[in-house]
Amino acid sequence: MGLTGALLPGALLVLWWIASDKGFLAEQILPPPAYVYETARDMIASGELFHHAGVSLRRVVVGFAFGAAAGLSLGVAMGLSRRAEDYLKPLFLAFAQIPTLGWIPLLMLLVGIDEALKFIVIAKGAFVPMVVNTFAGIRGVSPKLIEVGRALKFSDWQTLRLIVLPGAVPSIFTGIRYGLTHSWTSLVGVELLASSEGLGYLLVWGRQMFWLDMVIVAIIVIGLVGFAMDKSLDRTEVLIQRWKREELAA
C-alpha cells in the first residue's frame, strides 16, 4: 500500500481547506482545518479526547471479547455437530438478519441504558461474523486431510486439535476482523443513542452544541482507531499464518 493510500485523504484535506477558505459553506457548518486542529490540540491537552476514546475502547474490548468467544463456541459447535447445526442454525440465521439497531428498544427496556446495553450491542456485532466464519472454516476443512488423520488413528480430540482447528484458522481470523469492525461501528451507534461518555457521545454532544469542529475531531478519531485495530490484526494474522501469506506472495 505505502503512500498511495494517503493520496485520497490528502486530496480531501486540500479540498476541505479550499472549500472553507473560499467560504463555500458557512464556517459553523464546515470549520476550517486549522480551527479543527486547534480544537483537537485543546482536547488532547485537557485529556478530554483520551478520556472519551478510552471509554469507547474499553467498551469494545469487553464487548468484543464476550461476543467473539460466544461466536467461536457456537461456530465450533455447529461446525462439528450436525445436530447442533439442525437445532441452532435456523434461529441463528433469523437472529443475524435483524439489524443491531432493531434490538436496542427492546434491550433498553430489559437492561436499561447503562454499560450492559453497550456490551450486549457490541458483543452482538462480533458474535454474528464469528459464528458464520468459524462455521464455514470448520466445514471447509479438507476431507482428504481428515482421512489422513483417520489412517493415522487420530482420536476425535487429535482430529480437532491437529486438523480441524488449524484448518479453520484462516476463516476464524476473517471472523475476528469483521467482528471487530462490526463491534466498533455498533459501539459508536449505541453511544449516539444512549451514553454520556465515549466518542459517539462526543458526536451527539458536538452536534447539539453546534461545535462542528468537535464533531469532525471525533469522526477522525473513530476512523483512525478502527483503522489501527484492523491494521494490527492484519499484522497478527501474518505472524500466525506465515505458511499462508507466503503462499499468496509466491
Partner 1 sequence: MCNPAHFQIRKVTREFNVNGEKLTALDAVSLDIAEGEFVTIVGASGCGKSTLLRLGAGLDTTYSGRISHEGKVVTGPSLDRGMVFQEPRLFPWLTVERNVALGLENSKFTKSEKKRLVEEHLELVGLAGFARAYPHQLSGGMAQRAGIARGLVNRPNVLFLDEPFGALDAITKARLQDELNDIWARERITMVLVTHDVEEAVYLGDRVVVMSPRPGRIRDIVAVDLPRPRERTSAALARVRTRVLESLNSTESKPSVGPRLVEGERGSKSGPLRPAVALAN
Q: Which residues bind partner 1 (CB under 8 A)?
A: 144-145, 147-148, 150-154, 158, 162-163, 166-167, 169, 241-244, 246-247, 250
- Quick check: 78 and 164 in contact, CB under 8 A? no
Between residues 3 and 243, which has the closer beta carbon with respect to partner 1?
243
Which is closer to partner 1, CB of 91 or CB of 250? 250
Q: How far apart are CA 203 and CA 219, in angstroms?
A: 7
Q: Give the shortest CB-243-to-partner 1 separation in angstroms.
A: 4
- Whose Cβ is closer to partner 1: residue 28's or residue 158's? 158
SS (H, E, C) the chain: CCCHHHHHHHHHHHHHHHHHHCCCCCCCCCCCHHHHHHHHHHHHHCCHHHHHHHHHHHHHHHHHHHHHHHHHHHHHHHHHCHHHHHHHHHHHHHHHHCCHHHHHHHHHHHHCCCHHHHHHHHHHHHHHHHHHHHHHHHHCCCHHHHHHHHHCCCCHHHHHHHHHHHHHHHHHHHHHHHHHHHHHHHHHHHHHHCCCCCHHHHHHHHHHHCCHHHHHHHHHHHHHHHHHHHHHHHHHHHHHCHHHHHHHHC
Residue 157 CB, shortest distance to partner 1, in Å, is 12
- Which residue lies nearer to partner 1 by CB, 154 or 205? 154
| Rounded least distance, CB 239 to partner 1, Å | 13
CB of 82 to partner 1, least distance (A): 19
Taking Cα atoms as reference points, which of 132, 230, 121 lies closest to residue 181?
230
* Distance of closest approach, residue 149 Cβ to partner 1, in angstroms: 8
Residues 233/177, Cβ–Cβ less than 8 Å: yes
Query: How far apart are CB 65 and partner 1 at their closest, in Å?
Result: 25
Would you say 66 or 154 has its CB closer to partner 1? 154
> Between 22 and 153, whose beta carbon lies closer to partner 1?
153
Enumerate residues 6+ apart whose C-beta is below 8 A from 99: none
- Minimum distance of partner 1 from residue 153's CB (angstroms): 5
Query: Quick one: 174 or 195, whose CB is closer to partner 1?
Result: 174
Diameter of the chain by CA atoms? 75
